[in-house]
Structure 1
Amino acid sequence: MNILMTGATGFVGQQLVKLLSQSSESHQLTIITRNSQNAKNILGNNHQYLNNLDSLQHLNEIDCVINLAGEPIVGKRWSHQQKQKICNSRWNITAKLSHLIKQSDTPPECFISASAIGYYGRQGSTAVDEHSKAHDEFSHQVCNEWEHLALQAQSESTRVCVLRIGIVLGKNGGALAKMLPPFKLGLGGPIGKGVHGVSWIHIDDLTALIWHLMSTKSAKGVFNATAPNPISHKQFAHSIGQSLGRPAIIPTPVLALRLAMGEMADLIVEGQFVIPKRTLESGFHYQYPDINPALDSILKT
């Protein structure tokens, strides 16, 4: 299969490239990257690298497009300039990919494009699935347009799968790596009262889900890329502490986070309980549906 991929050097992208490279099926990856040499150092020399999409007029030779590109949404404080950078890094490349697909005489069979559970905005304790109504705020606005641009590529020839990705848990990267230092020192704990939702997914399940959607011809539309058992942040903190053999009882004051992070703190202190209803209906089976085995596989090996 000929696969065009963006975001390949990111935490998820690296693991997906590894999975595809180790597959018994023959895959040729064309990777879009701003720094080809850096990407080769990370991913190896067995792939084709392009610095941008500008040299392409169509995607006639591509079987599947996987779009994981985007400025980290929690990388920097949300100034007006940073918000625009977050939007443009997602919207522009997605629009270009959809345009190239529509320009193709023999377009890719599938287009898998990332989004995030930030689409739903703050939801309190109400569980949400792919059909639930969103709360209109910045994270929703980013994801709503991101998804809209991807879904423009949908046709009889090309099926589009949009992944609303939760907190990705894995070794040596992602959100968990940033959370661990205080827990390892015995200083970890819930944020505030810890009642807000944590919708998470193990990295192995996320890459397996992408492969599942690539190879399931009936799959199209929006899929929540979260484990089927979301938990409260209090439970999440307790499970991290349990896996590390450390106490996890020192709460982080919400006010301190808001002072330090501004509006961006909403992503951490609000949360959602997201259910992957359509994902389960598609026939996908999770290796790690529950938090304790998922964290143990990461922190105890």
Structure 2
Amino acid sequence: MRIVMAGASGFLGTRLADRLRQSGHDVHRLVRQPATWDPGQGRLDPDALAGADAVVNLAGANIGAQRWTANYKRVLRSSRVNTTDTIARTIARLPAADRPRTLLQASAVGWYGDTGDQEVTEEAPAGSTFLADLCRVWEAAARPAEDAGTRVVLLRTAPVLDRTGAPLKPLLPLFKLGGGARLGSGRQWMAWIALGDWLGATEFLLDREDLAGPVNLVSAEQCTNAAFTRTLAAAVHRPALLSVPGPVLDLALGELGGELRHSQRAVPGVLRDAGFSWAYPDIASALQAALRPEPAIGR
């Protein structure tokens, strides 16, 4: 399969490209060049996508890279929406014979906002938080490709667990020093997925031409922040007796701190019904895989 990938140099894109090449696919990186690929200007040479079997769009600025100032919120939005809109409209303008059959489009479980203790599947409406609104316009930007007949899969991804990327990379030094702490009460539900399962699920969705629309890329089992904190501390053989009060989290991280205290009990309805099998379904096995010396690329 010939696959064109945007965001191929990021944490997930690099590993997915490696995984797909290992599976025998021909993966081409979509590299930004002012004359041919400039999503800020809505410019993409149609020849870059023509004849591809699938397009994978993982592009977007890092959610946790800095405080959410008004300016950085605009960056988070434009880096996702402009890229997606440019790719989707370019796909739609291609002749049917040259049009990619599939677009795997990044999104996030932030779509659901704060769900409390309620389990939410892909059928749940968008929440009312900044991230929920961001996901709503992000996903909507892919609609021109869908309207043109391309199968669009919206990858509502949870935080992906691996020692080389967020959220684990910045947490591990603290936990190894015994400074691991739950956030607020710790009773809030966390959405997460092991890196190996994210890669496996994405390749699974690439091959399953009968699946389209939003798909929750989350673990088979959910856990609370307190359970995550306790399990990570045990994995590095350190105590985790502390908690970070909400006001302190807000002072340190601003609006992002509030998002981290939201409860999100997203469940993988589509993947489960489609027969996907998780290699790391629970938080203990996922953290064991994530802390191995080499990234868990295979399943």
How far apart, in 2, do the equivalents of 1:7 and 1:158 lie?
Answer: 20
TM-score (norm 1): 0.90
Match for 2:56: what amino acid? I
Match for 1:33: what amino acid? V
Q: Name the residue aligned to 2:63.
A: 73
**Which region of structure 1 is more displaced relative to structure 2, 169-178 or 199-208?**
169-178
Confirm or deny: 8 A CA contact 2:190 2:224 kept in the other structure.
yes
Once the two structures are superposed, what CA deviation does each residue of 1:32-68 show, in whole Å capped at 9, x if it has no partner? Answer: 2348xxxxxxxxxxxxxx7646351253211100000
Residue 144 of structure 2 is aligned to residue 152 of structure 1? yes
Confirm or deny: 8 A CA contact 2:4 2:55 kept in the other structure.
yes
Partner residue of 1:28 out of 17, 26, 29: 26
Q: What SS does the corresponding residue of 2:243 show, helix, strand or coil? A: coil
Match for 1:201: what amino acid? I
Taking only the aligned residue pairs, the percentage that are identical comes to 32
How far apart, in 1, do the equivalents of 2:37 and 2:140 lie?
Answer: 25
Structure 2 gaps of 5+ residues are 294-299
Q: Name the residue aligned to 1:112.
A: 104
CA RMSD, Structure 1 to Structure 2 (Å): 1.7
TM-score (norm 2): 0.91
Partner residue of 1:248 out of 237, 240, 245: 240
Confirm or deny: 8 A CA contact 1:190 1:250 kept in the other structure.
yes
Q: Name the residue aligned to 1:233.
A: 225
Q: Name the residue aligned to 1:275.
A: 267
Match for 2:135: what amino acid? C
- Superposition deviation, residue 129 in structure 1: 1.1
Match for 1:289: what amino acid? P
Q: Name the residue aligned to 2:169.
A: 177
Once the two structures are superposed, what CA deviation does each residue of 1:193-238 show, in whole Å capped at 9, x if it has no partner? Answer: 1001111001111111111111011010110000021110000001
Match for 1:128: what amino acid? V
How far apart, in 1, do the equivalents of 2:7 and 2:44 lie?
Answer: 18
Confirm or deny: 8 A CA contact 2:188 2:262 kept in the other structure.
yes
Q: State the aligned residue count.
A: 285
Q: Name the residue aligned to 2:46.
A: 57
Residue 117 of structure 2 is aligned to residue 125 of structure 1? yes
Q: Name the residue aligned to 1:89.
A: 79
Residue 11 of structure 2 is aligned to residue 11 of structure 1? yes
Structure 1 gaps of 5+ residues are 36-49
Confirm or deny: 8 A CA contact 1:33 1:52 kept in the other structure.
no
Match for 1:11: what amino acid? F
Q: Name the residue aligned to 1:103.
A: 93
Once the two structures are superposed, what CA deviation does each residue of 1:54-113 show, in whole Å capped at 9, x if it has no partner? Answer: 351253211100000001112111111111110000000100111111011121010000
Match for 1:85: what amino acid? V
